Structure 1
Amino acid sequence: MNKWELFLDHKIDMPSELFHAFKAKPAQKYKSNQIIYRQGEMPKYFYYLKKGIVQAFVNSPEGMEKVLNTYKEGDIFGEASFFDGFPRISSAKAFSDSEIISISKADIISYFQQEPFLALNFIEFLARKVRMLSNEIDNISFLPAEKRIAQYLLNMNVNSDSSVNCTHESIGRAVGVGRVTVSRTLSKFSNYGWIDTKYRKIVIVNKEAVLKFLNE
Structure 2
Amino acid sequence: MQVLKQVPLFAELNEEDLIALQDITLKHTYHKKEYVFMEGEEREAVFFIHSGTIKTFKVDPEGKEQIINFLQAGDMFPHVGFFEETPYPATSEVMSEAVLFMIRIDDFNQFMLNHPEIAMKVMKILGQKISVLTQRIQEMNSQNVQHRVVYALIRLGQESGQLDKEEIYIDMPITNQDVANIVGSSRETINRVLNHLKKLDLIQVSRKGIYIKDINQLKEHVR
For normalisation by structure 2, the TM-score amounts to 0.73
Higher relative contact order (CA 8 A, sep 6+): 1
Equivalent of residue 207 in structure 1, options 207, 210, 214 = 214
Q: CA deviation at 1:92?
A: 0.7
State the distance in 1 between where 2:57 and 2:221 align: 28
2:128 corresponds in structure 1 to 129
Q: Which residue is 2:197 aligned to?
A: 189
Change (3 A) 1:78 1:18: farther
| Residues 53, 72 of structure 2: 8 Å contact kept | yes
SS in 1 for 2:87: coil
Counting only pairs closer than 5 Å after superposition, residues 27-46 of structure 1 correspond to structure 2 as 27-46=27-46
Deviation at residue 130 of structure 1 after TM alignment = 4.5
Secondary structure at the counterpart of residue 55 of structure 2: strand
Which residue is equivalent to 2:187? 179
Distance 1:73 1:206, change over 3 A: same
Matches for 1:33-112 after TM superposition, within 5 Å: 33-81=33-81, 83-112=83-112
Secondary structure of the residue aligned to 2:74 is coil
Contact 1:51/1:99 (8 A) holds in 2: yes
1:109 Cα deviation after fit: 4.3
C-alpha deviations, 1:28-53, integer Å up to 9, x for none? Answer: 11122210100110100011122222
Q: Give 1:140's aligned amino acid.
A: E
C-alpha distance after superposition, 1:140-189 (max 9, x if no partner)? 23343212222333415647993542222121011111112101111111
Distance 1:212 1:98, change over 3 A: farther
Runs (5+) with no aligned partner, structure 1: 1-12
SS in 2 for 1:81: coil
In 2, are the aligned partners of 1:14 and 1:125 still within 8 Å (CA)? no
Contact 2:83–2:109 (CA under 8 A) maintained in structure 1: no
Which residue in 1 is equivalent to 2:3?
Answer: none
Secondary structure of residue in 2 paired with 1:150: helix
Q: Secondary structure at the match of 1:186?
A: helix
- Count matched residues: 201
Stretches of structure 2 that go unaligned for 5 or more consecutive residues are: 1-7
User: What SS is found at the alignment partner of 2:123?
Assistant: helix
2:177 paired residue number = 169
Equivalent position SS for 2:103: strand
Structure 1 vs Structure 2 CA RMSD: 3.2
Question: Per-residue deviation at 1:134?
Answer: 4.0
Q: CA deviation at 1:196?
A: 2.8
Q: Counterpart of 1:50 in structure 2: which amino acid? A: H
Q: Distance in 2 between the 1:65 and 1:93 partners?
A: 12
